[in-house]
Amino acid sequence: MAVVRFHLVSQLAPKDVLGVLTDFGPSRAQAWPTIDAEHFEVHDLGDTWAEVTEGTAAAWERARYDWEPAGDTVTVTTLDSKLFGAGGGWVFRMTPEGNGTRVDVELRRGPSTVKGRMLASLLPLASGSLRKSFAGPLQAK
């Protein structure tokens, strides 16, 4: 299983970071550079969870998000993915730091296809790009 870890320091308070990560309204595709409107669909939504498909034509995934409103963690479980299939996902942990929030991010991929395994082996090289894609929406440095 490929695992990538990185962190960002957001100017937002932890509750606001949680809000950005769990806002599944129509503006999500505008806020996140890795989501386009054609590949964003909310399948179901509860108070502490959501099931969504998001991404682009090149790389989309259907995932279940779980969180606690006053919590410090958002867990994203990949149900299906164009590149990697089901399994793995993301974990976001928020810790107050100074006037903002440290966001620790962990991405896990356990693809079952040869192509997926090859792509997953390259993920550690993409940690800078992944970090950059979160920096804007999370107002991070």
Predicted confidence at residue 113, as pLDDT, reads 75
Q: Which residue do the tokens 């509750």 mark?
A: 15
Predicted confidence at residue 83, as pLDDT, reads 83
Question: Residue 98 contacts by C-beta under 8 Å, 6 or more apart in sequence?
Answer: 9
Predicted confidence at residue 115, as pLDDT, reads 74
Name the nearest CA neighbour of 71 among 94, 51, 50.
94
Question: Residue-wise over 69-108: b if at least 16 C-beta within 10 A, else e?
Answer: eeebebbbbbbebebbbbbbbbebbbeeeeebbbbebebb
Predicted confidence at residue 79, as pLDDT, reads 96
Predicted confidence at residue 136, as pLDDT, reads 93
Residue 109 counted as domain residue: yes
Check: CB of residue 6 under 8 Å from CB of residue 131.
Answer: yes
Residue 50 counted as domain residue: yes
Q: How many domains does the chain have?
A: 1
Residue 140 counted as domain residue: no
Its pTM stands at 0.92
Residue 93 counted as domain residue: yes
Residue 141 counted as domain residue: no
Predicted confidence at residue 114, as pLDDT, reads 76
Predicted confidence at residue 122, as pLDDT, reads 73
Q: What secondary structure letter does DSSP report for 83?
A: T
d(CA 101, CA 87): 28
Taking the C-alpha atoms of 27, 31, 34 and 38 in order, what is their torsion angle to the nearest 10 degrees?
20
Ranges of residues in the chain with a pLDDT under 70 are 125
Please report, for the domain that includes residue 77, its CATH number: 3.30.530.20
Predicted confidence at residue 110, as pLDDT, reads 81
* DSSP letters spanning 12-34: S-HHHHHHHHT--STTHHHH-TT
Q: Whole domain around residue 100: which residue ranges?
A: 2-135
